[in-house]
Structure 1
């Protein structure tokens, strides 16, 4: 870090020597949005029109030309992001950032993402259209690497540009799949809690599904003629410090024609992902004589995960199903390198890996594998004890056809073709949302689900009573949760619990009902939705649950312990309708109160380390409302006060007094100064922005921002006791697509289209985003050409 800081200062000095030299440097490092270039293997001239926000609209003679061009323009705006994402799953971050990333590299290498990628690529059919277009995209990236300007981050970190291969695409997908999973944060923690405290302490936690909360309803499509019109705190901390996107949650709803003002489908989606700079999505519009798509692309992936055209739109949220299990392995009494299997004693497989470390010698390490997967002892901090614990992960255990699924989704022309692609998504689990110009609305939960003796109770480390390489059976895709053209005339997902159509519940780490309840309440109450209404809804900052939590807690407050000023604040909370606007004081008080309520309830039993791990789980979010409503709980007693058994009233009152005192100290003696804008801020961090002298060049923000945890405008933050709610994750885009006016559909990115800090499009949407504003997603060719700020033409290389 010291060396990086010195390099950064030197670079800034050099750039600032003279305005002339600075201008030359910036021009040389900036993306090219106009002019002419040659592109190898291009069959015909291709034109790229850049709209006012730097989004490329690619007009090509055929798909291969379009994808080759996409690779080039994507790389010139996002090559640094592509570089980092391909390195995570393959355990190569230490090459860039040094020994501080060694544990993270060891962890990801032990997951086997790189090995799975190699196996997948080895059997790919080069004549498969998915592979051909992927290779064209990579050709475009690699030509930019060979000929284009080197992004400044490569100079600052001292790494070389290296061509991309198909394996890199699958390594990025593997990282994406892992970042969706919550079992790595939850299962070992719950086992440690049970071992330390006993089973009685787990009874008050929301481990099982709650039938009284809002579930996503399933619906099988009627016949056509009947239809009307973690694994560890250290890994998470390391990735968070690098500002790499971690997939968190998401909202989506699709409204059928019967509930819209103009009689056409309206589609809304805002995937929740960790904020970073650049933001995760790259927008691009491709048009050829046979194919058109306006898509949202991950760095290094040629097919959009979100997209739309004149005929259909699709998006996603996280399913949150459980696709990771942990197993205790029984070792041989005398030969510790052997473990018990169904077929007798087997030897652990040993895997040797070498990690290159910047400015240091290579690090060689060995990890063990059982039939279930890698042994996590010594690799994952949450895995305690000597007994070997193996991690089984759906993603690495099965054939990887995710890229074929993305190709099929992006090339589908109707609902039936779109659905055909979905069974190829085995992991990560996704809720795929769909709407089209024909009036169809649909939701499918996509994942390879299984039924097994353990599958109803997978939130603990399991004994090896069944071999998950051969469960009782894998469910057919028809048994996955879904709703297609339901009679209630909309579909939605907010990462909440889905109902079952397979005679079993699907184990998972679902989010609480908060967002789902608000979405359902709003959608049910109205039958004339317009695009403007949906734009307002996607920015909604009202909690449907937090006021009821306040009500449950307020009922136990010992009023005699409060001053008049404290009672006045309590009354404001009691009258609160759940708004989280910048000028509200209620959310500031609420979250400070909840933090102390949680700390006083759990920290004495768990200890600091386990309590902080608990705060990072979805389980904690699911626990808040039920714990607030409980009259009795084993957790209320503070075990550190031996002579006293505390009551809920004492616990709640103490937490409120602590919250009030801390707000007086941190913000203002007068509660009118405790407004939400003082504590809830959003800054988009870049890895290089960790260097103080470079922060203003690379980071975007900070901005005061409305919203909060688990409202529709879900701007999440961690509870860490400092009383400042620095937003870590939220809507990675907001999209509203109205099929009655498809060419005026709206979207927004959190910062800007480009990841190059010298581009005018690095942060030109940031202020619009925090204000809840939108811009057009242009589809009309004439309008695109008329409003284009610049034209970049690619010509075939002369033979």
Structure 2
């Protein structure tokens, strides 16, 4: 109205009230959304204390979950026990199991869209799932029965989820909704084959060796940058360009960075498998019983790939580490036997360059002439995109892989394709039967005999029973011609008869060590035999360093105990640091006058002073491990960058043998120290000094200039990341598990670093499982995994074991039912459903 005025105070008060209402309403709405989301997600949290009627069991199955949520499964028959394991796996790790199955099937893109198409394409080319289906029939009767019973147990949980509306079984199912097909025995075999993909690295190493051969002008330098493990009896190889004509034009090809996807089984593929295992006979045991320690290493994830479980079988109780999807204790113990696995690094892959018919590209050259490819169409369905139809091709040697995979374009000349021969691509793979037979064995002799059925991935099996120890390399070992052109170390011509496999070597040819006179044996992925080609087992070994520290710890004691084995398993002293630092810094220690504060020279002197007093312990609380690791990384980069150019990025981890060869000038290896593009002739001391300055600049930019205040653990954080939700903003803080950790690339407590990217020292690959078994007092045995038993991030068992693992602690590994029932978190009884 004219003449009326609104008081300013009232207007502001009104606006303020409305703002309060809107803000309050938004908060209430957000809370309702959070509460609603929590309700939906929590519906899939397993209930462990219950009775449930199910189809597929003949008598009640009891699942007793101890205080750490380890299921102890009791049934009146082996089939019922495996049923219970399938049910327990599906309760805790359903999303993990389904994702592993989809990966092996090449069907990730149906759920995740275009981002996983390349993974699916490669899985389809390997044809893992078809091979798994045919391999089911190759298993022995007991194993087929176990696979069937396990599948029924998984499906019982799926039925329960559907009938009781249990939140689709896992939180991830709400974000990536897709039907879950019933579990089949072939699914388990396929996951075992997928483990072979993760544990094999010879294909990539062959390609890298060929690329380095094309990049380097001197053959001697190739032996430096990709050195053989110390030992004799290895013949020299020809230059790759001479071996496969037509590759000269590929010599300096620079490839783009390869994308990594959290769902890919190849994320840490350069690391392949790794692991430690050692055993002591009664003569070397303080308590008079055998001892075994085992810690297999894989890429970290949340949840861990491992799952602890105990089964009560007709042959007795077994307990240890399982992998969800597989009905077997892969590393563990029974009342009579302990067994552990380490990657053997057997060369079970060969890459062949196949020559196309210039007049008909549907044919390739064989020793008998041109022959048509075997082909098959395959359709990949992609979420929110059109399907992709691909043509799969096979030669006599194996599946054809395109140049986009494994950098094959860089070593495949025009008019040729690459094909892979690999023992894991067998359609009659009886590895599952071998795993089941080892689990049921009651003696070292029985377990060694069971290993005959093992095909892939090749492993070293370490065994102890009440009075004996042994180690045997398991897996099908290809039989190669002594005249093989590349000896399997780099790609060879597929049409040359002498390059082709001549079948599989007899099981007796696989290395074995039974009841050694010294009473102690072990493996850190080190070279196990020094035999000439073609009985050499491998040119590529996973360790040349940890074994030295292991030997020292084993020989320092006349007798061992469970605690001394644990001490060795958790040892963080780097033999590499102790051996290399005096070598590379020989002319830098305590030289020159004191430099002014604030200068690079002064910072270098401070770093050298710290390192001079260091014992090589890669302790998370110390600054020296970070200075050392950054120095070695910068040093190798300085040594190889001018010679290899863009290829240098493929050598992301310092190779101790390479650096030692350079600084000892083995066969002229000191030539790496001279920078070719510069006029002066640099010495190795010059490069070491410049690399240390590079490392200190990097440390200053990322962690500050106060060297004494640095912590290795700040850089060396274990990254147990959720493979799908780990990249989602905000949510990643709930699903990812990050921990400051000790250890490093070359310590027995292995914490393999990423090697590249903005956080090159993150701990991404290590012991997801640790176990120490004492047969003087079996129930005093212990084990642990790196996260928790549950894959549900709202469960208290998602990460409850993680801090124990980080601190080097364990939980009891007992077969005593009374101990399992004491303070159990729940007891599930699965009863036969009424007919």
Please indicate, yes or no, whether the TM-score normalized by the shorter chain is above 0.5: yes
Match among 475, 478, 490 for residue 447 of structure 1: 475
5 Å-filtered alignment, 1:171-570, equals 171-200=190-219, 201-211=221-231, 237-239=260-262, 248-384=273-409, 385-386=413-414, 387-397=416-426, 399-437=428-466, 439-449=467-477, 450-453=479-482, 454=484, 457-464=487-494, 466-467=496-497, 471-472=501-502, 474-500=504-530, 504-557=535-588, 559-560=591-592, 563-570=601-608
Decide whether the 8 Å contact of 1:29 with 1:152 is kept in 2.
yes
Given candidates 665, 672, 675, the residue that maps to 1:630 is 665
- Is the Cα contact below 8 Å between 1:354 and 1:363 reproduced in 2? yes
Contact 1:107 1:379 in 2 (8 A): no
Counterparts of 2:446 and 2:566, CA distance in 1:
29
Aligned residues: 762
CA–CA distance in 2 between the matches of 1:248 and 1:502? 24
Q: Tell me the equivalent position of 1:78.
A: 93
The residue aligned with 1:158 is: 177
Deviations 1:143-170 (A, max 9, x none): 2112223211111112222211122112
Q: 2:393, 2:749 → 1: CA distance?
A: 43
Report the 3-state secondary structure (helix = DSSP H, G, I; strand = E; otherwise coil) of the residue aligned with 1:457.
coil
Q: 2:825 aligns with which of 785, 789, 797?
A: 789
Distance, in Å, in 1 between the alignment partners of 2:706 and 2:106 is: 51
Q: Are 2:739 and 1:708 equivalent residues in the alignment?
A: no
Structure 2 matches for 1:606-755, cutoff 5 A? 606-608=644-646, 610-615=647-652, 620=655, 622-630=657-665, 632-633=668-669, 634-641=671-678, 643-686=679-722, 687-700=724-737, 702-720=738-756, 722=758, 724-755=760-791
State the secondary structure of the residue aligned to 1:92: coil
Structure 1's 322 and 251: CA in aligned 2 closer, same or farther, altered over 3 A?
Answer: same
Instruction: Determine whether 1:574 maps to 2:612.
Output: yes
RMSD over aligned CA atoms reads 2.6
Q: How far, CA to CA, are the matches of 1:56 and 1:663 in structure 2? A: 46
The CA deviation at 1:640 is 3.7
TM-score for the superposition, normalised by structure 2: 0.86
Aligned-residue offset at 1:568: 3.1
Deviations 1:435-465 (A, max 9, x none): 112x111110112222423287322111236
- Aligned residue for 1:753, secondary structure, equals coil
Shift of 1:639: 3.6
Consecutive unaligned residues of structure 1, counting only runs of 5 or more, are 1-11, 214-231
Q: Is the 8 A contact 2:480 2:499 kept in 1?
A: no
Question: 1:158, 1:573 → 2: CA distance?
Answer: 54
Partner of 1:5: none
Between 456-465 and 405-414, the greater mean CA deviation after superposition: 456-465
Distance 2:808 2:142 in 1: 39
Cα deviation code 1:657-688 (max 9, x no counterpart): 11122222221222112221221111310021
Q: 2:348–2:423: 8 Å Cα contact kept in structure 1?
A: yes
Contact 1:370 1:390 in 2 (8 A): yes
Deviation at 1:27, TM superposition (A): 4.4
Q: Deviations over 1:617-661 (max 9, x none)?
A: xx94653443343374343333443x3443322222110111122
- Equivalent-residue separation in structure 1 for 2:313 and 2:683 (angstroms): 69
**Given the superposition, is the C-alpha separation of residues 467 and 129 from structure 1 closer, same or farther in structure 2, using an over 3 Å criterion?**
farther
1:134 partnered with 2:155: no
CA distance in 1, matches of 2:399, 2:423: 13
Aligned CA distance change for structure 1 residues 16 and 132 (closer, same or farther; 3 Å): farther
Q: Specify the SS of the correspondent of 1:159.
A: coil
After TM superposition, the score normalised by the length of structure 1 is 0.90
1:295 CA drift (Å)? 3.1
Q: Name the CA distance, whole Å, in 1 between partners of 2:60 and 2:488.
A: 55
Q: Which moved more, 1:93-102 or 1:487-496?
A: 93-102
- CA shift, 1:15, in A, is 9.0
Question: Does the 8 A contact of 1:748 with 1:774 survive in 2?
Answer: yes
Matched-pair contact (CA < 8 Å) for 1:243–1:276: no
